[in-house]
């Protein structure tokens, strides 16, 4: 199997993008990635599009065929990949397999979602379509509902506190405010969302014990990367290539209720383990990570489950600044889903784009992890029932 590298990465600012169609957003992000890879007139061999909701939200299918035409990349092969909120990482995985197989050389992977066509309960309902169609969805469970129950269990079993959750939210919004691609640009304070009388109004309960600021926003957005064999990358890439050193993907019970211990995110653990093994690296070798913080509790739980901290230590580590810039393992220096936003099909690609920027050392000082060599991502599908992990490594000249 051939080693595969990322030679281009691009994204558009996430947020409310009423003026753009889904296809516009995918095209803008793709053009930025193609340009970043210096491909000029070179055509790509295959295109993967990550998207979860175009059928439901835009009444549109065959989005990959539409994109390859819009970008004048005909007759490249084109497929759309769906794995709920982990669609982005699944698409990158399939692009990776396509290159590793030897059949394709240059592959574009673009992820996008135009979610703000629906807001409020309709957005929550859209996301809930990924729950079990027989034993979950008809009974009204939603993803925030699951996250609330998960948080309560986690608090009871491991002593995670509301303050620790708030510390994650504050860190991620602070970093988001520094990231030009982030949806939420506003830094927040403990006083504003927890310690003052106003906090009751500013930060109401969303899914007890989670409050509004524990949840990611509903965003539009798109991101893209270009993959090719490492050998080719060394020849043609105008910027430092980033090796996809390892990947992992694992599934868990579709419903939360069937897990022996619902606080164990087995698919997160397995996917991370596979990725580290393939990369021949350990959690401690990672310099930067993007975790799937659709809810603040998930950043804490994942930071333990992938091996950055022991079980029960993730919340304390967050409050102690170990996951901030300059800390033991800087997590979500992009602002994460919490602040960058979570256009579901785009998220897994945006995580990889952020890590590529980090490993190329091209971010502003206030976000750049110094001398970062190895990066890690977790993209979390369903409520942890289909998880994809990547270990990325800077290719030194």
Q: Which of 109, 147, 270, 337 binds its own copies (CB under 8 A)?
A: 270
The least distance separating its own copies from the CB of residue 222, rounded to whole angstroms, comes to 15
Going by DSSP bridges, is the β-strand pair 242-251/374-381 parallel, antiparallel, or unpaired? unpaired
In the complex with its own copies, the residue whose CB is nearer, 273 or 296, is 273
106 binds its own copies (CB under 8 A): no
Instruction: Answer yes or no: are the C-beta atoms of 390 and 244 closer than 8 Å.
Output: yes
Q: Which of 42, 119, 122, 134 binds its own copies (CB under 8 A)?
A: 134
Verify cis geometry, omega within 30 degrees of 0, for the bond prior to 75: yes
65 binds its own copies (CB under 8 A): yes
Closest CA to 331 of 344, 314, 348, 343: 314
Going by DSSP bridges, is the β-strand pair 46-50/107-114 parallel, antiparallel, or unpaired? parallel
34 binds its own copies (CB under 8 A): no
103 binds its own copies (CB under 8 A): yes
Q: Which two tokens stand for residue 361?
A: 């050392």
Q: Which of 38, 251, 283, 307 binds its own copies (CB under 8 A)?
A: 251
Applying the rule CB under 8 A, the residues between 367 and 396 that interact with its own copies are 381-382, 385-386
94 binds its own copies (CB under 8 A): yes
Instruction: Answer yes or no: are the C-beta atoms of 7 and 241 closer than 8 Å.
Output: yes
Q: Which two tokens stand for residue 358?
A: 């980090």
> In 3-state terms, what secondary structure has residue 375?
strand
- Bridge partners (DSSP) of residue 215 are 295
CA 104 to centroid of chain Cα atoms:
25
What is the DSSP-derived secondary structure letter of residue 307?
Answer: T
Of the candidate spans 68-76, 108-116, 222-230, 320-328, the one that interacts with its own copies by CB under 8 A turns out to be 68-76
What is the DSSP-derived secondary structure letter of residue 104?
Answer: -
Q: Which two tokens stand for residue 59?
A: 């009444």
Q: Which of 9, 225, 250, 369 binds its own copies (CB under 8 A)?
A: 250
In the complex with its own copies, the residue whose CB is nearer, 107 or 233, is 107
70 binds its own copies (CB under 8 A): yes
Contacts with its own copies by CB under 8 A lie at: 1, 21, 23, 46, 52-56, 58-66, 68-70, 73-84, 90, 93-94, 97-98, 100-104, 129-130, 132-134, 137, 249-255, 266-267, 270, 381-382, 385-386
């Amino acid at each position: 199997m051939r080693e595969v590298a990322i030679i281009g990465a691009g994204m558009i600012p996430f947020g409310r993008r009423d003026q753009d169609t889904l296809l516009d957003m995918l095209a803008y992000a793709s053009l930025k990635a193609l340009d970043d890879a210096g491909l000029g007139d070179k055509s790509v061999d295959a295109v993967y599009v990550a998207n979860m909701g175009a059928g439901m939200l835009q009444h549109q299918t065959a989005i990959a065929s539409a994109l390859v035409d819009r970008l004048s990349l005909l007759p490249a092969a084109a497929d759309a990949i769906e794995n709920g909120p982990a669609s982005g990482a699944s698409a990158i995985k399939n692009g990776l397999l396509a290159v590793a197989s030897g059949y394709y050389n240059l592959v574009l992977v673009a992820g996008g979602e135009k979610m703000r066509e629906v807001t409020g309960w309709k957005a929550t309902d859209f996301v809930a379509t990924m729950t079990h169609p027989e034993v979950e969805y008809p009974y009204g469970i939603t993803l925030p509902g699951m996250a609330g129950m998960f948080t309560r269990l986690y608090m009871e079993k491991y002593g995670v506190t509301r303050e620790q959750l708030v510390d994650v939210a504050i860190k991620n919004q602070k970093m988001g405010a520094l990231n030009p691609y982030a949806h939420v640009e506003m830094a927040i304070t403990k006083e504003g969302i927890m310690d003052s009388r106003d906090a009751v109004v500013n930060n109401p309960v969303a899914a007890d014990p989670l409050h509004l600021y524990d949840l990611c926003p509903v965003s539009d957005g798109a991101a893209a990367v270009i993959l090719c064999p490492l050998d080719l990358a060394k020849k043609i890439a105008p910027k430092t290539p980033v090796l996809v050193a390892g990947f992992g993907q694992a599934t868990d019970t579709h419903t939360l209720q069937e897990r022996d211990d619902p606080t164990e995110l087995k698919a997160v653990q397995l996917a991370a383990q596979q990725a580290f093994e393939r990369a021949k690296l350990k959690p401690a070798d990672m310099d930067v990570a993007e975790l799937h913080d659709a809810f603040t509790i998930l950043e804490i739980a994942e930071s333990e489950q992938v091996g950055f901290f022991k079980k029960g230590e993730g919340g304390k580590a967050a409050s102690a600044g170990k996951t901030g810039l300059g800390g033991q393992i800087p997590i979500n220096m992009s602002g994460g889903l919490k602040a960058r936003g979570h256009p579901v099909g785009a998220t897994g690609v945006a995580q990889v784009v952020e890590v590529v920027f980090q490993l190329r050392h091209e971010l502003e000082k206030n976000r750049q992890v110094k001398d970062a060599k190895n990066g890690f991502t977790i993209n979390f599908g369903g409520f942890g029932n289909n998880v994809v992990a990547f270990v990325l490594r800077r290719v030194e000249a």
